[in-house]
Each structure stands twice: as structure tokens, then as C-alpha cells.
């Protein structure tokens, strides 16, 4: 004799209390993951570029760079210098945070010379005449193990005389 379909289900044991709890826990974890992914797609976790500028008597210094970056990320920063008067020995002095925990891929245009001043990198360029614009592109990759906040400031000097300074910070997320 053949069994009816409903008879196959009569032998099932009722659900234990842990089954719905496990199901809702799994749903909550997946929903949390989906929220994190959605926020990342909406650029809430970094890589958005922001600009900062500092006018000086001889020129204006402008920095365009992200304020937040994630470990392993490739990104670009841009430094713009607009000379108001002649700058005989333009020097771009980068705070330590530009190099700590970063892999430098390129600096374009390349500096005529590079040196160090009190642990900060100094990029030296050729003379800028009044009205000249110097754009420097710096490409980096963030070291994934170097998480935290660091100084990302830039100083523009004429020789050793400070013209302008932009104070910024960069936060690296895991």
C-alpha cells in the first residue's frame, strides 16, 4: 500500500528552540555585512579626495589628497604651487606621514634633488617665475599593516624660508 505525502511529514521531530535563533543570527550577520558593503560602495570609508590650501606672500600651496585610506589601496595625491613672485629655490617639504607605511610608486615631475630635513623629505625644484604653476603628482600604495593616523602636512619653502604650510592628517583603516 502506498503512503500519502502527508504521512511522510508526520514522523518529523518539531524544531528545537536553537534552530530559529541560529537562523536569525545568520540573517543579522549577513545584513550587517551588506550594510558595510553598501557604505563602502557609497565611499563612506575613505578614498574621497579633499583639498586644502594655504596662501603665502610668495605663492599659494594647495594639496589634494584623501583624508582616509584603506590598507593595500593605491591612491594619488597632488600638490599645486602657484608662484605670486619669483621663487628662487622652491622646496616642497613633506611631513613624515607621507612616507611612513607607504610604498611610493612615483613622483612626477621628479625633483631636481631630494634630501632630508629633521626626518622630513625635501623635494627641490627649479626656479618658479611669478605666475608659474607647479603640479606634483605623488602615487602611493598603503601598507596594510600600518593602521592609524599620521601627519600629512606639506610646507613650501624658498630655500630655508617658509612661504606656506598646509596641515593635514591621513587616517589608514585596516
What are the pLDDT digits (tens) for 126-156? 999 999 999 999 999 998 888 889 999 999 9
Grid cell 606639506 is found at: 154
Could you tell me which residues are beta bridge partners of residue 161? 158
Q: What's the confidence (pLDDT) of residue 46?
A: 58
Q: What's the confidence (pLDDT) of residue 70?
A: 84
In this structure, what DSSP letter does residue 56 have?
A: -
Grid cell 549577513 is found at: 30
Query: 3: which 3 cell numbers?
Result: 503512503
| Residue range 1-14: mean pLDDT, rounded | 69
- β-strand 68-70 against 169-173: which pairing, if any? parallel
What does the mean pLDDT of the chain come to? 88
More confident residue, 173 or 92: 92
Burial class of residue 87 (count of CB atoms within 10 Å of its CB; 0-12, 13-18, 19+): buried
pLDDT band at 35 (very low <50, low <70, confident <90, very high): very high
pLDDT band at 69 (very low <50, low <70, confident <90, very high): confident
Q: Tell whether the model's pLDDT for residue 51 goes beyond 80.
A: yes
Determine the 3-state secondary structure of 43 from DSSP. coil
| Residue range 117-131: mean pLDDT, rounded | 93
Q: What's the confidence (pLDDT) of residue 45?
A: 66
Amino acid at each position: 500500500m502506498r503512503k500519502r505525502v502527508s504521512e511522510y511529514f508526520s514522523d518529523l521531530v518539531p524544531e528545537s528552540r536553537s534552530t530559529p535563533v541560529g537562523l536569525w543570527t545568520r540573517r543579522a550577520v549577513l545584513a550587517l555585512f551588506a550594510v558595510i558593503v553598501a557604505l563602502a560602495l557609497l565611499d563612506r570609508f575613505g578614498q574621497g579626495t579633499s583639498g586644502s590650501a594655504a596662501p603665502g606672500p610668495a605663492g599659494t600651496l594647495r594639496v589634494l589628497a584623501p583624508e582616509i585610506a584603506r590598507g593595500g589601496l593605491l591612491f594619488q595625491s597632488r600638490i599645486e604651487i602657484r608662484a605670486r613672485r619669483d621663487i628662487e629655490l622652491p622646496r616642497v617639504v613633506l611631513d613624515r606621514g607621507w612616507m611612513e607605511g607607504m610604498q611610493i610608486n612615483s613622483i612626477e615631475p621628479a625633483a631636481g634633488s631630494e634630501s632630508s630635513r629633521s626626518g622630513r623629505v625635501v623635494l627641490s625644484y627649479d626656479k618658479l617665475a611669478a605666475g608659474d604653476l607647479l603640479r606634483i603628482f605623488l602615487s602611493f600604495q598603503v601598507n596594510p599593516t600600518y593602521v592609524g593616523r599620521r601627519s600629512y602636512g606639506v610646507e613650501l619653502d624658498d630655500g630655508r624660508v617658509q612661504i606656506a604650510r598646509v596641515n593635514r592628517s591621513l587616517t589608514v583603516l585596516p
